[in-house]
Amino acid sequence: MQTTVREVERKYELPAGVVLPALDDLPGVAVDPAADVFRLEAVYFDTADLRLAANRITLRRRTGGDDAGWHLKLPAGPDGRDEIHWPLGRSSRTVPADLAALVASFARGTKLEPVARIRTTRTRRRLRDDAGEVLAELVADDVAGEALGREVTVSTWSEIEVELAGGERDLLDRVEKRLRSAGVRRSAYASKLARVLGDRLGGPAGRPKGKKRSTVGDAVVVHLREQADTLLAYDPRVRRDEPDAVHKMRVSTRRLRSALQTFGTVVDRRATRPLTDELKWLAGVLGEARDLEVLRERFASQVAATADDLVIGPVQARITGHLAHRQAEARDHVLEALNSERYFALLDALDGLVDDPPLRGGSRRPAGKELPRTLRKSHRRVSRRVSAAVDLGPGPERDHALHEARKAAKRARYAGELARPALGRTAKRFAGEMEGVQEELGAHQDSVVARRVLREIGMQAHLAGENGFTFGLLYGGEQQRADLVEARIPEVRTAVRAAKRRLG
């Protein structure tokens, strides 16, 4: 049975001869007088080229202590990781299939094998509050690690870990201040494994540093790398069906595609067009699942807000039955896509893009001069499409025009977000204004989609002999929302025109 805990901890070097300072004089903190001592042994699994470790992911099989089993640790913020536990099982050399699936986007079909063995003698003390509740654990580890492979290297060291249990993050700051006063410093390594593997990961950080954004090429490549990392980070969360994970992964996919389209004079479009096509495919698969998720929440909220005497028949049950089946199918499509060779090839192409981007001559231009030009071009596209929608009467043609204007606003917003590190407040405000336009027009598109689905469900209810009154009521509410947006289109156009002043 799989269990997950959020691990929030900090790791410190413990130099020889340094004595840990007392902590029980910290306000509201008492330290257990007796310590627990454990002897732990863990074998770490990775690909031969250490793809998991390079992405701050740890996969191990540990014996000893009170949490023996398989552990998969995924990054979750600067001090946090999600730790997934799985029973030991019989095999000590085969990773459980459920855990292997969660790192499939990193391994991409490459075998997971033992890469290190770490033995630890752990001395643990608990920090409690005045009521005796555990706030945090402080452990002192004496470690012996072996990097496995053709040559086995052994290293030994001592370190301190402080992990929150029920306390607040400020407790970590207070403990760290006390440790620093005693000469204890943060570890240069994110994990014991990173230290054992050492140079095989490229140094303590284990990841390349981002470039400065002095040229437009630098700005674009850094953004592409950030979004590619985000896409990968959300992959295991989508596989675990975490809330909002599909949405976040879809957004990173769209940002990547948008950047490649918008900055074709920086990154060669002829070289990246196949990748943008694949990103469109992935965004579509994720979008199917996300749109159904949003619709289900939208309809549930609207039914709940409708007076009881106007909800006639099994309305919510009918909606749930219709959408739940489609959601299950969409979920299957997502998992099928994420386990496909096509997806792994897309990820390989992204790696190649950020490692060796096909930059054009324009990429060497100063970011401070080139990015405003790109934002002005993006703005003109939004302005043209909003103006085109103003001149149309109500109906499918206007619906389509507003949808196209929304997509242009979203693309302009993403360009503004990319430019923000180089342009600062100017780009931030522009991106915010474009986001406002996107959300306004998005409300209209949401209504268009919702009405289509409501009509479909209403017809099913009618054919089943149910009263379709409530579905008509909900449809009318959606139509009213769309009408309100359409009535504000001249105001949206004015807001778009005003945004131009930000760019000079």
**Could you tell me the CA-to-CA distances from 245 to 40, 83, 254, 266 in Å, in that order?**
34, 17, 14, 30
Residue 77, both tokens: 């913020």
* pLDDT of 204: 42
* % of residues, the chain, pLDDT over 90: 77
* pLDDT of 119: 96
Q: Is pLDDT above 60 for 209?
A: no
Residue 30, both tokens: 């008492």
Fold classified for 3-201: Hypothetical Protein Pfu-838710-001 (2.40.320)
Over residues 432-453, mean pLDDT: 95
Q: Determine the Cα–Cα distance for residues 265 and 255; give it in Å rounded to an integer.
A: 17
* pLDDT of 421: 94
In the chain, count H helices and then E strands.
Answer: 15, 10
* pLDDT of 403: 95
**CA 128, chain centre distance (Å):** 33
Q: Is pLDDT above 50 for 250?
A: yes
DSSP structural state of residue 268: T
Where do the DSSP E strands lie in 274-378?
A: none
**Tokens 């957004």 found at:** 251
Q: Determine the Cα–Cα distance for residues 294 and 300; give it in Å rounded to an integer.
A: 10
Where do the DSSP E strands lie in 398-452?
A: none
Q: Is pLDDT above 80 for 78?
A: no
**Tokens 């990547």 found at:** 256
Nearest to 56 by CA among 156, 204, 178: 204
Comparison of pLDDT for 473 and 14, the residue scoring more: 473
Over residues 329-346, mean pLDDT: 97
**Contact present, 2 and 98 (Cβ < 8 Å):** yes
Q: Determine the Cα–Cα distance for residues 502 and 413; give it in Å rounded to an integer.
A: 13
Fold classified for 212-365: Four Helix Bundle (Hemerythrin (Met), subunit A) (1.20.120)
Q: Is pLDDT above 80 for 154?
A: yes
Q: Is pLDDT above 70 for 67?
A: yes
Q: Is pLDDT above 90 for 390?
A: no
Q: Is pLDDT above 50 for 296?
A: yes
In this predicted model, what pLDDT tens digit does every residue of 80-118 receive, in sequence order? Answer: 788 899 998 888 889 999 999 999 999 999 999 999 999
Q: Is pLDDT above 60 for 433?
A: yes
